Amino acid sequence: MKTAVYPGSFDPVTFGHLDIIDRALKIFDHVIVAVARNSEKNSLFSVQERVELLSKILEDRPRAKVETFDGLLVDFVRKRGASVTIRGLRAVSDFEFEFQMAQMNRSITKEVETLFMMTSVPYSYLSSSVVKEVSSLNGPVDNLVPPLVKAALDAKFRGK
């Protein structure tokens, strides 16, 4: 049974993230969506809120499981019995950072591989940061995030 870990902040989860998860589920038996507990990032949603949103959105994908992690990603991956991390790439600008992280992880342990997945074309411009900015300015995000996330964004920015 092959398990992969898809780590990220998911603040908030977008259709781009879901596209990567769905495509990873075609390759792996199980995908652990690992929400990072990163206190250095100024997140809109708490870790618990992000886990709840992802869990509800992924409830029709039983082979996808949502967990949180802190510390070294490779330690988390090994503890979960996985051997692959999945990283989505939108553009060449993403590659340099992701390449450095993959090389660092590889230097820590040879047991964990990094699989880069190119984002699908409709999501090549999409990021959680863009979603938050557009939503904060009362712009349309219906085509960027699931309805549950849109409602959560509206509640954060407009108290709805």
Residues 4, 32 contacting (CB under 8 angstroms): yes
> What is the phi/psi pair of residue 104, to 5°?
-65, -45
pLDDT in tens, 62-103: 999 999 999 999 999 999 999 999 999 988 778 888 899 999
The answer to the question of residue 158 being in a domain is: no
- 103-130 residue pLDDT tens: 999 999 999 999 999 999 999 889 999 9
Residue 152 lies inside a defined structural domain of this protein: no
Q: What is the length of the chain?
A: 160
CATH number, residue 49: 3.40.50.620
Q: Please, which pLDDT band fits residue 42 given cuts at 50, 70 and 90?
A: confident
Q: Is residue 17 part of a domain?
A: yes
> Pairing between strand 3-8 and 30-36?
parallel
Domain that holds residue 18: 3-122
**Tens of pLDDT, residues 131-152:** 999 999 999 999 999 999 999 9
Tell me 41's DSSP state: S
Q: Return the active site residues.
A: 17, 41, 90, 128
What domain count does the chain have? 1
